[in-house]
Structure 1
Amino acid sequence: MAAKGDVPAAAGSVVVPYGHVVGNEKWRGSEVARRLQGKTKLIFEDGLGLVDFHLSNRICVLYISEADLVAGDEFKRRVVRFRNASSLGGIVIVEKTPITEQYFSAVQKLVVLQLGMVLLPVANQGEASQLITQLVREQSKDHTSNPFLRKQCSQLAEASVFRTVQQIPGVGKTKALLLLQQFGSIHQICNASVKELELVVGQTVAQQIHTFLGS
């Protein structure tokens, strides 16, 4: 049986009061928590499992720090467990620094290409707090149906996918745009045959894409 901290709380099981952020107890006293408390109403709870911050009852953040990236693959297992066990909308925030630059493409491939989640890089916890605050403010414009939050998350997801496709060897902005226009999603690009890819980006790049996504 999985330990309590091994699974995320179910959608709707965490009640986030209007205008608040619910943070995992482990972040109490951290820089991101201190900065958030100056901008929004932050409350801490145990039992959030894999989730670091709940922005609403259905939208949450998984935070990958510089230390997490350097330490090894545990963060990967955490994100995969979350994706497999939760119906929540998950946004992954990752610290992209000179130290973690070398790991970032692998994180993009896992989070965006394989798991279909939103990935947002930040330089530090201060920048992360600004991003979380921005999302909460968008949500607060309409706390009944949250159309602004949904629109914001949709825009973030689209930008995240576009940036990630550009990281595939041989693919820049133009080819990334052509691929997404033709196939519509990362999932469809991953499932496309070399022949189908060739029609959009040519033989050489098609083979590079197929090799990269299949590795």
Structure 2
Amino acid sequence: MTTKAHSSVTAGSIVVPYGHVIGNEKWRGSEISQRLQGKIKLIFEDGLGLVDFHLSNKTCIVYISEADLVAGDEFKRRLVRFRNASSLGGIVIVERTQISDQYFLAVQKLVVLELGMVLLPVANQGEASQLIIQLVREQSKDRNSNPFLRKQCSQLAEASVFRTVQQIPGVGKTKALLLLQQFGSIHRLCNASIKELEPVVGQTVAQQIYTFFTLCS
């Protein structure tokens, strides 16, 4: 494939068969692909551009490794290009290790607050493969049966969104659920005042959430 193909975002021409994942050819032989084989049906294709894995026709994964974070800002440009050129639902998986942890807050700000994408941290490729398997299985479920969220929050039933909210300091599973029910989206949560947050999570956590978004703005 040409360099242009690798620097672009695939258009809506990718069709993912039910129960399959389409992986970028560059991941063939990797730990992720080895761990996915036998658990889900993985197909490799060249020319997926900025996308690393297609989970469905509408959802894909962009993977940022520890090496990407340490190497500089190229991964940021890659994410911005993806967001600007794609209408796909992008999930960003980031390797958060002892080495890359110092970069994580900046990545969180860019992905969640500026680009409005879902961010899921993992320790390594093995953990990433387990996460991909979980996401594929959860996408196959009826949203109304999702155990994380109540019926009135069915549009928020994607586990990836739920996990993203849990990355906010002071917020665990229970508070993430309450926040999503109250505010409906990460964007609205980001712009909530302390007074709006307090009835949901209490004064202390409300202040933590507000401070987090203020520092990242």
Same fold (TM over 0.5): yes
Is 1:213 matched up with 2:216? yes
* Distance of 2:107 and 2:216 partners within structure 1: 13
Instruction: Give the letter aligned to residue 74 of structure 1.
Output: E
> Superposed, which structure 2 residues align to 1:133-172 within 5 Å?
133-141=133-141, 154-164=158-168, 166=169, 172=170
Q: CA deviation at 1:156?
A: 2.3
Aligned partner of 2:77 in structure 1 is 77
Q: In structure 2, do the counterparts of structure 1 residues 33 and 152 end up closer, same or farther at CA, with 3 Å as the change threshold? A: farther
Does the 8 Å CA contact 1:118/1:160 hold for their aligned counterparts?
Answer: yes
C-alpha deviations, 1:46-93, integer Å up to 9, x for none? 111100000111111111111111111111111111111111011111
Verify the 8 A CA contact 1:139 1:148 in the aligned structure 2.
no
CA distance in 1, matches of 2:94, 2:111: 10
Whole-angstrom CA distance in 1 between matches of 2:129 and 2:76: 22
Rounded to whole Å, the distance in 1 between the matches of 2:144 and 2:189 is 29
Corresponding pairs, count? 199
CA distance in 2, matches of 1:209, 1:134: 28
Once the two structures are TM-superposed, the CA of residue 103 in structure 1 deviates from its matched residue by 1.0
The separation in 2 between residues aligned to 1:140 and 1:184, in whole angstroms, is: 23
CA contact (8 A) 1:93 1:121 kept: yes
Distance 2:31 2:22 in 1: 16
Aligned to 2:11: 10
TM-score by length of 1: 0.76
Q: 2: distance between equivalents of 1:77 and 1:153?
A: 30
Identity value in percent? 65
SS class of match (2:16): coil
Deviation at 1:6, TM superposition (A): 2.1
Indicate how the Cα distance of structure 1 residues 197 and 60 shifts in structure 2: closer, same or farther if over 3 A, else same.
same
**TM-score (normalizing by structure 2):** 0.76
Superposition RMSD in Å: 3.4
Residues 24-54 of structure 1: CA distance to partner in whole angstroms, max 9, x if unpaired? 0111111101111131111111111100000
User: Aligned to 1:29, what secondary structure does the other structure show?
Assistant: coil
Partner of 2:44, secondary structure, is strand
Letter in 2 for 1:4: A
